[in-house]
Structures are given as structure tokens and as C-alpha cells.
């Protein structure tokens, strides 16, 4: 079935009444697994834990903290809550959390790196609780931020906020990308292309892909029960990147700062609900 046919079909469908029908269609068409009420409750629990972990990590971030210490805090809190860290051993990833400092865009591996005054560090956590995944990240200041750090962090945070705000049934994944790209580029920043948001909940990474750039009205129509991340990676300079020889750490080609915020978002009957709520 093509988009046009589906769109016509969807127009005749009442999302709350015809959930099962849409669920089957989305599974067939897009390999997207829509979430039922019971699933959403469980993802929300994993999401609260993700936010808790980020809040507790924040209290430990100061000049002198190492990214290995952040990893230890995340691992301890995750275990204490009877959860597991999805990143640990994911395709060979050696740690429980991604810690991405300054020009690192994402997938930084915790190590002996000592955070310095003026650094920024993104901490990306994905706890698995009772078999359900929730994915969230924040970029923190270490000590007092300089002007560039301040700028890139506030632009990235605003990009996530604006991306979430366009989530509602009938809008499409492209509307999210468009809102994010417009804000980032309007501020003279750029949007990373190689890494995108993704379905999440039953697994770490599920369809669909949710690019943080794009065209209004393009992409997959959003329907109630979809759960995916929005996680814009915004660079102060150009968007091009390369991956270091550890095969994980992605850094900006031009050495400019990069910041990211991420939430796990549910499409509701009316609009959206974030399952990892933070400001």
C-alpha cells in the first residue's frame, strides 16, 4: 500500500476505536510495533528511572569527575533498581552509558578522561526495566560554561522542545525534522545527519527512523501508540563528522562543540506525551 492509499484509509479511521487495525497496518507497512496501554505503563516506568539516573548523575558532575565515574554511577543506580543498561555489550559497546564531551557528538565511551571547568558532557542512558526500554539524554555543563557552550546547549535543548511540540496524529516524521532543522540552522548551527531518532520500547532500536532534519509533510504519518526518541545532535559548526578508531566515538570534523538532548515520546490520541519527562 502506498502513502496516498494509507492516508485515505487513515482519514476514515478513528484512532481510539480502530487501534487494532492501524496496529496491524503499521506492523506490515513499516515494521513499526505500536504500543498498547500496558506497554506504555511499563515504558513509562523505565522512563522515570532514566530521568532519575540523569538527575543523580548531574549532582556528581563537576571539574575533576571522570567519565568512568559517571559510568559507575549509572551502573549502580540501574542495578539498584533491578534494571539493566541497554548500551552495555550492545554490538560490543563496553560500558553502561555514553558520555560525549565537547566535540564528541555521540557514543563517547567512558574512560579516564577528567572533566574540566567549561566542558560540556552529554550523558545518554537507556535502562531496561521488566523488559521495556526507555532512552533519554541530557548535556550538562561542567563548572561554568563559556559563551559557545552556553549557546550550543541552549540551541540543542530548544531543538528537542520544538521537535516534541509537533508530535501529534496526522503529522509526519518529516514535520519533526523540519522544526528541529529550522531552529538549529536559524541560529547558525547545524544538524547531524548520520544519527537519528528511533522507535523504542520493546527493543533498543526499532523502526521508524526519525531524522532531525527534513521536509514538512514527508515521512511516516504519526499515529497513537507510536513510541520513538527525538534526540537532535546539534553542532556549533558544520554537520560533518567522523568516527574514531574505537569504532564508536563520533566527533565533529571541524572540532566544533556538539550538544544533544533526548526524550522518549509517545503519540497520543490528541498530541503527545513524553515518557521520560524533563525540562
Which residues form the interface with Co ion (CB under 5 A)? 135, 229
Residue closest to 95 by CA, chosen among 249, 202, 242? 249
Q: Minimum distance between the CB of residue 262 and Co ion, rounded to whole angstroms?
A: 6
Q: Minimum distance between the CB of residue 249 and Co ion, rounded to whole angstroms?
A: 16
Nearest residue (CB) to Co ion, 183 versus 229: 229
Nearest residue (CB) to Co ion, 39 versus 135: 135
Q: Minimum distance between the CB of residue 152 and Co ion, rounded to whole angstroms?
A: 19
Nearest residue (CB) to Co ion, 181 versus 229: 229
Q: Minimum distance between the CB of residue 205 and Co ion, rounded to whole angstroms?
A: 7
Nearest residue (CB) to Co ion, 15 versus 199: 199
Strands (E), 126-170: 127-129, 132-133, 136-141
Give the number of other CB atoms < 10 A from CB of residue 52: 14
Nearest residue (CB) to Co ion, 106 versus 251: 106
Nearest residue (CB) to Co ion, 3 versus 204: 204
Q: How far apart are CA 191 and CA 236, in angstroms?
A: 9
Burial zone of 94 (CB within 10 Å; 0-12 exposed, 13-18 middle, 19+ buried): middle
Q: Minimum distance between the CB of residue 204 and Co ion, rounded to whole angstroms?
A: 8
Residues near 32 by beta carbon (within 8 Å), at least 6 away in sequence? 26, 199, 206, 207, 208, 220, 226
Residue closest to 231 by CA, chosen among 123, 102, 109, 131? 123
Exposed e or buried b per residue across 245-270, where buried means at least 16 C-beta atoms within 10 angstroms of its C-beta: eeebbbbbeeebbbbbbbbbbbbbee
Nearest residue (CB) to Co ion, 22 versus 104: 104
Q: Give the pairing of strands 197-199 and 136-141.
A: unpaired
Longest Cα pair distance anywhere in the chain, in angstroms? 59
Q: Minimum distance between the CB of residue 195 and Co ion, rounded to whole angstroms?
A: 8
Helical spans, DSSP H, in 166-279: 173-186
Q: Minimum distance between the CB of residue 206 and Co ion, rounded to whole angstroms?
A: 11
Q: How far apart are CA 210 and CA 198, in angstroms?
A: 6
Amino acid at each position: 500500500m502506498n502513502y496516498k492509499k494509507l492516508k485515505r484509509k487513515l482519514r476514515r479511521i478513528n484512532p481510539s476505536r480502530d487501534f487494532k487495525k492501524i496496529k496491524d497496518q503499521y506492523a506490515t507497512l513499516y515494521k513499526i510495533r505500536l504500543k498498547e496501554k500496558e506497554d506504555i505503563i511499563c515504558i513509562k516506568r523505565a522512563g522515570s528511572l532514566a530521568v532519575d539516573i540523569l538527575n543523580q548523575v548531574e549532582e556528581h558532575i563537576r571539574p575533576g569527575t571522570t567519565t568512568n565515574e559517571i559510568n559507575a554511577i549509572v551502573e549502580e543506580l540501574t542495578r539498584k533498581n533491578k534494571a539493566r543498561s541497554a548500551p552495555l555489550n550492545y554490538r560490543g559497546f563496553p560500558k553502561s552509558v555514553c558520555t560525549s564531551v565537547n566535540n564528541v557528538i555521540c557514543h563517547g565511551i567512558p574512560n579516564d578522561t577528567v572533566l574540566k571547568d567549561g566542558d560540556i558532557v552529554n550523558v545518554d542512558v537507556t535502562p531496561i526495566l521488566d523488559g521495556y526500554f526507555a532512552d533519554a539524554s541530557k548535556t550538562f555543563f561542567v563548572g561554568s560554561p563559556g559563551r559557545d557552550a552556553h549557546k550550543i546547549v541552549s540551541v540543542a535543548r530548544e531543538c528537542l522542545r520544538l521537535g516534541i511540540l509537533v508530535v501529534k496524529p496526522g503529522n509526519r516524521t518529516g514535520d519533526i525534522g523540519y522544526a528541529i532543522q529550522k531552529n538549529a540552522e536559524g541560529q547558525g548551527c547545524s544538524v547531524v545527519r548520520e544519527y537519528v531518532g528511533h522507535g523504542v520500547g520493546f527493543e533498543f532500536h526499532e523502526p521508524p527512523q526519525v531524522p532531525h532534519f527534513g521536509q514538512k509533510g514527508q515521512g511516516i504519518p504519526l499515529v497513537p501508540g507510536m513510541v520513538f526518541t527525538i534526540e537532535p545532535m546539534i553542532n556549533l559548526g558544520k554537520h560533518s563528522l567522523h568516527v574514531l578508531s574505537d569504532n564508536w566515538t563520533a566527533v565533529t570534523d571541524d572540532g566544533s562543540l556538539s550538544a544533544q538532548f533526548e526524550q522518549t515520546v509517545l503519540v497520543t490520541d490528541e498530541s503527545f506525551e513524553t515518557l521520560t519527562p524533563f525540562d
